[in-house]
């Protein structure tokens, strides 16, 4: 067992409890970053991790190898610097535990933002949580964002394509919470609008059978149920 994790306990528990299948995707939010307060919005994309965030991601990588015995790992980071930093720190922790060197790949997934100008306006409005709730619950048309169902189906179609991870058994995918929240809403019908650092979903599949976990809940689905 590794020491208690600052972040990522939910995901480690999900991996431990889920069934073994051919391929696993651990899709998580980046590690701890500084507050956005007093930082101009145009600089948000360049924010890096805090020292504690780097340490937390390193410990998470160590836990993947030592605690839940994951192997044949492949690491991906979405374009934001804090996502790439997180992927590199998780890989470093896994490397130290497994005495291997993993290469970090840049993740290319569709953005959930449909209209950048409208999206930026919503961020500045002071009603960010309400904006997310409207989008994720699909109660009202949200012009700034791709519809949740459409977006989630695109992401599942991309990830579950055998070409995505090739021969790797496990893909650790570090991204932004905006990419994960619609997956949770679509699969579990829970329009959550906050996600802790290093939290996310665990997807395991064999052939066309897919098991998806979030929090303490698992759903067993067929591939064609995810991409109707």
The DSSP-derived string for 3-57 is: PPPSS-HHHHHHHHHSPP-SEEEEEEE-------TTS-GGGGGG----HHHHHHH
> 23 lies in which domain range?
9-111+145-226
pLDDT tens digits along 187-228: 998 878 889 999 999 999 887 889 999 998 899 999 888 887
Q: How many domains does the chain fold into?
A: 1
Q: What is the pLDDT of residue 49?
A: 96
Q: Is the pTM of this model over 0.85?
A: yes
pLDDT at 1: 46
Residue 3 lies in a domain: no
β partners of residue 202: 26, 213
pLDDT in tens, 111-137: 999 998 988 888 887 778 888 888 998
> For the domain that residue 184 is a member of, what is the CATH number?
3.40.50.1240
| 57 in any annotated domain | yes
Question: Per the domain annotation, does 37 fall within a domain?
Answer: yes
Assess if residue 35 is contained within a domain: yes
Any domain includes 129: no
Q: Is residue 127 part of a domain?
A: no
Burial of 42 (0-12, 13-18, 19+ CB in 10 A): exposed
What stretch of H or E contains 155? helix 148-159
Q: How many CB atoms lie within 10 A of CB 149?
A: 13
On whether residue 88 sits in a domain, the answer given is: yes
| Spatial CB neighbours of 108, under 8 Å, sequence gap ≥ 6 | none
Is residue 65 in some structural domain?
yes
CA-CA distances (angstroms) from residue 21 to 25, 145, 161? 11, 33, 15
Measure the CA angle with vertex 67, ends 187 and 34; round to 5°.
Answer: 65
């Amino acid at each position: 067992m590794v020491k208690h994790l600052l972040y990522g306990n939910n995901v480690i528990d999900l991996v431990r409890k889920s069934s073994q299948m051919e391929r696993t995707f651990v899709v998580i939010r980046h590690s701890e970053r500084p507050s956005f307060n007093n930082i101009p919005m145009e600089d948000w994309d360049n924010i890096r991790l805090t020292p504690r965030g780097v340490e937390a991601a390193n410990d998470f990588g160590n836990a993947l190898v030592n605690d839940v015995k994951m192997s044949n790992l492949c690491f991906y980071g979405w374009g934001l610097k804090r996502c790439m930093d997180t992927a590199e720190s998780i890989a470093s922790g896994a490397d130290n535990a497994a005495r291997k060197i993993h290469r970090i790949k840049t993740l290319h997934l569709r953005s959930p933002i449909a209209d950048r100008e409208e999206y930026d306006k919503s961020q500045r409005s002071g009603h960010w949580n309400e904006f997310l709730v409207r989008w994720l619950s699909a109660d009202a048309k949200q012009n700034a964002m791709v519809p949740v169902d459409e977006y989630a189906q695109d992401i599942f179609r991309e990830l579950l394509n055998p070409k995505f991870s090739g021969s790797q058994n496990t893909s650790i995918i570090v991204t932004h919470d905006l990419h994960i929240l619609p997956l949770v809403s679509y699969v579990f019908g829970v329009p959550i609008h906050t996600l802790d650092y290093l939290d996310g979903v665990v997807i395991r599949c064999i052939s066309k059978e897919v098991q998806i976990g979030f929090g303490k809940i698992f759903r067993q689905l067929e591939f064609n149920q995810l991409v109707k």
